[in-house]
Amino acid sequence: MMQEIAQEATRFIDLNLITVGYLFFVGFVGGMVSGFIGSGGAFVLTPGMMSLGVPALVAVASNMCHKFPKALVGAIKRAKYGQVDLKLGLIFGVFAEAGVLYGAHVQESIKKSFGDAGSNLYVSVAFVVVLAIVGSFVLRDALSSMKNSDDHGEERTAKLARWVQSIHIPGTMVYFKSLKARVSILFIVPLGFATGMLAATIAVGGFLGVPGMMYVLGAPSLMASATELVVAFVMGMGGSFKYALSGLVDIRLVMIILAGSLFGIQLGAIGTTYVKGYTIKFVMGTIMITVLFSRALMIPVYLAQLGIIQPLPELAVTWLKNGSFAIMIFALLLGAFIVLRALLKGMKAERQLTPQVSLKRSEV
Amino acid sequence: MRTSNKKLKRGRIVRMIGYGALTAVIYAAVFLNQGTVMLYFTKGGFLAATLPVLTAFCISFSHGGFTNYFWQVMGIEASKKKLQQQKQERPVEREQIRPQPRLRV
């Protein structure tokens, strides 16, 4: 059955220049955002591929398979800048993988019981609830950090994180360099699991993983976003293999998206060396809140399909679908714009500073 | 100083071309044989599942290397100021001081 879907998909897609260019561009912009905030660039790709006529399962599988090589390249790059906590990423990743498997199982049972509309409604409600709570918190914290941070941009450890770090449970304590403290693994289990479940539901686990590492464990935002790339690599590799077992990965789509996203992820990773921690939070919060509106627009469509509210006119459904997709693209472009602006501004400032330094040295 | 900079830039260009050529070969191999590739890659089962995963790894190595050197050649690099700061922040490893035998008279 799965192989039939995959074969149908490969026959279905016509890889013309426009399709290739579209996937390359979305991959590039998504890669840039992922390199900067650790995740968040992939949520447009699944609906983007589906709009080209790729079946949903093949789109999800191909998106997953493009994520792990991208995360690997980003993690290596950011490890060179000393921003990755490999130990935390691997431990977090293992529990996130369990969450992915459970999340996929939940999705399947909802689909069986309530059909496609029920499954879509579940995804949209998860999007709206999680992004509303976490996104507004991250954005509020980013704005207050901008006002209160000192010249070095040092971030204060959250109250909850200080409490978590103060709890000592014998036999479960592990030292993490990003936290500069020992934390019980029992706090990482639910965080990782929830991240994985969210990844299986909305394709972006990092919207929970990065804030979890920042506010619950106490990692600085630069390190949390870089470590999330390790988590995405672990989750993505396991997930890709699971989908590939059913023959659902379209390697051509994966390669086209990767062609663009690996250019983007390098830029995003370089961008992190020019900014202070709160910029990461700001980009993440802004994207989360914008995407929230995109998914909220689709809720009435699914409610009507399930017969909970009165059926909507066809024109309204088309407008809501197009509006939702347009807001999603806008969120990604907005994130990429902030990243590029920060990168170019930082490079310009450093170039202006360099001749002055060398002049002073020559005077001495 | 200028010669070493030129050497560094030439080295980067050579590596960029090397990784770029490898990437082009992989892409050409897949897209020129789409039919065969899709037939084996979407077969399902353990062995066939390793094919897309391995290909993705190969691309992350070759295209990742190419894009890394591409941006370096274009002059887009990480902030040196911040990286130096981070290096200084790391604790300096102390050399272990061996107790030296002293003659006590």
Q: How, if at all, do strands A173-176 and A181-184 pair?
A: antiparallel
Handedness of CA A24, B50, A123, A282 (dihedral sign): negative
Nearest-neighbour CA in chain B from A48: distance (Å): 20
Residue environment code for A84-104, b if the CB has 16+ CB neighbours within 10 A, otherwise e = bbeebbebbbbbbbbbbeebb
Q: What pLDDT, on the 0 to 100 scale, is given for residue B89?
A: 53
Summarize pLDDT for A72-126 with one digit per residue, the tens. 999 999 999 999 999 999 999 999 999 988 988 888 788 888 877 787 788 888 8
Distance CA A354, CA A134 (A): 40
Summarize pLDDT for A47-86 with one digit per residue, the tens. 778 777 788 778 888 888 999 999 999 999 999 999 999 9
Residue bearing the bigger pLDDT, B87 or A271: A271
Indicate the SS3 state at residue A279.
helix
End-to-end CA, chain A: 76
Nearest-neighbour CA in chain B from A274: distance (Å): 6
- B6: pLDDT confidence band, cut at 50, 70 and 90? confident
Q: What pLDDT, on the 0 to 100 scale, is given for residue A94?
A: 93
Cα-based angle A356, A279, A355 (whole degrees, multiple of 5)? 10
Using the beta-carbon criterion (under 8 Å), do A3 and B86 form an inter-chain contact? no
- A19: pLDDT confidence band, cut at 50, 70 and 90? confident
- Mean pLDDT value across chain A: 85
Using the beta-carbon criterion (under 8 Å), do A3 and B44 form an inter-chain contact? yes
- A328: pLDDT confidence band, cut at 50, 70 and 90? confident
- For residue A255, which residues of chain B lie inside 8 Å, CB to CB? 27, 30-31, 55, 59
B51 touches chain A (CB under 8 A): yes
Comparing C-alpha atoms, which of B85, B56, B23 is closest to residue A154? B85
Q: What pLDDT, on the 0 to 100 scale, is given for residue A191?
A: 94
End-to-end CA, chain B: 55
Distance CA A127, CA A294 (A): 10
- For residue A248, which residues of chain B lie inside 8 Å, CB to CB? 42
Cα-based angle A71, A74, A75 (whole degrees, multiple of 5)? 80
Q: pTM (2 decimals)?
A: 0.85
Do residues A260 and A250 make contact, with C-beta atoms less than 8 angstroms apart?
A: no
Q: What pLDDT, on the 0 to 100 scale, is given for residue A188?
A: 94
A57 touches chain B (CB under 8 A): no
A361: Cβ contacts below 8 Å, ≥ 6 apart: none
Nearest-neighbour CA in chain B from A120: distance (Å): 26
- Given a cut of 70, whether residue A180 has pLDDT beyond it is yes
Using the beta-carbon criterion (under 8 Å), do B87 and A82 form an inter-chain contact? yes
Using the beta-carbon criterion (under 8 Å), do B76 and A346 form an inter-chain contact? no
Nearest-neighbour CA in chain B from A152: distance (Å): 10
- Chain A residue whose CA is closest to B33: A252
- B73: pLDDT confidence band, cut at 50, 70 and 90? very high
Nearest to B56 among A68, A250, A346 (CB): A68
Using the beta-carbon criterion (under 8 Å), do B42 and A267 form an inter-chain contact? no
Q: What pLDDT, on the 0 to 100 scale, is given for residue A14?
A: 66
A180: phi > 0 → left, psi -120 to 50 → alpha, else beta; which? left
Q: What pLDDT, on the 0 to 100 scale, is given for residue A360?
A: 56
- Given a cut of 90, whether residue B54 has pLDDT beyond it is yes
- Given a cut of 60, whether residue A5 has pLDDT beyond it is no
Using the beta-carbon criterion (under 8 Å), do A65 and B56 form an inter-chain contact? yes
- Given a cut of 80, whether residue A43 has pLDDT beyond it is no
- Chain A residue whose CA is closest to B31: A252
Distance CA B35, CA B18 (A): 28
DSSP per-residue codes, A195-262:
HHHHHHHHS-THHHHHHIIIIII---HHHHHHHHHHHHHHHHHHHHHHHHHTT---HHHHHHHHHHHH
